[in-house]
Amino acid sequence: MKAIFARVKALLLRFWHVISRPSAYLSLGFLTLGGFICGVMFWGAFNTALELTNKENFCISCHEMHDNVYQELQRTVHFTNRSGVRATCPDCHVPHEWTHKIARKMQASKEVWGKIFGTISTREKFLDKRLELAKHEWARLKANDSLECRNCHSAIAMDFTKQTRRAAEIHSRYLVKGERTCIDCHKGIAHELPDMTGIEPGWRAPPELRGSGSSLELHRIGLVDYLADL
């Protein structure tokens, strides 16, 4: 063990010895230009590879994605619609901005682990895990204020007069004021939903914000007081 450690240390020291001294054989021009060209090639290759993993074809090359979520997507408005705009997997599930994209891609290395060990390799396993997976996506979209939705649907560009009265009212009350974000109400717009027992509708205020103005809340407080007096 000690011998290996010493050898590694010797190797590193030799490497440092070589790299910390001026080049004896290669010209400065060759080194700088060569470094620049290699850098460009590396960067191009990196981004090309990154883009390749950011395509629908890449996503559905795994049967887990192809047989479950992709089949469901094809039945929704995000796949076919009257204006012919289609959202593919990465449009909603990968941030478009570079830094956030890299961060998401690093997180997604967990999915490689899942693929290797077959975490959702059968339909049954997938259905059992669906609630957990969905909750991750809801949390992610909640945290970034539904960024991926807003890449196409912006509140500024929404013409409320073209919406139904109910939709316009709800959007101006919750969305424009920033009280809620898209994913709060629009869950399951591209995939089937998991068992939603106990998951409250998105337009409801979170419990800590539920004001005493609600008759339900008054009722509850009254009951709690009554029980405390007993």
Partner 1 sequence: MRGQNRSGLRFTVTVAATMFGAIVVALGALAAGPNIVPRVTGAAQPMQEASPPPLARPITDDVRRMRNYPEQPPVIPHAIEGYQLTLHTNRCLECHRRQFTEGSGAPMISVTHFMDRDGQVLADVTPRRYFCTACHVQQTDAKPLVGNDFEDMLLVGKSRR
DSSP state letter for 222 = H
**Cα pseudo-dihedral 76, 80, 83, 86, rounded to 10:** 90
Least distance to partner 1 from the beta carbon of 209, Å? Answer: 12
Q: Which stretch binds partner 1 (CB under 8 A): 10-18, 46-54, 90-98, 162-170?
A: 162-170
**For residue 202, how many C-alpha atoms fall within 13 Å in the half-sphere facing its CB?**
18
Least distance to partner 1 from the beta carbon of 81, Å? Answer: 11
Helices (H) and strands (E) in the chain, counts: 13, 0
Q: State the Cα–Cα distance between residues 120 and 127, nearest whole angstrom.
A: 8
**Cα pseudo-dihedral 10, 12, 18, 20, rounded to 10:** -120
209 lies in the site for partner 1, by CB under 8 A: no
Instruction: Assess contact for 184 and 202: CB atoms under 8 A.
Output: yes
Among 203, 218, 220, 221, the residue binding partner 1 under the rule CB under 8 A is 203
Nearer to partner 1, 29 or 198 (CB): 198
Among 62, 133, 158, 189, the residue binding partner 1 under the rule CB under 8 A is 189
211 lies in the site for partner 1, by CB under 8 A: no
Binding mask 57-96 for partner 1 (x = CB under 8 A): -------------------xx-------------------
Backbone angles phi, psi at 218, to 5 degrees: -60, -40
By the criterion CB under 8 A, which residues form the site for partner 1?
A: 76-77, 164-166, 188-189, 192-196, 201, 203-204, 214-216
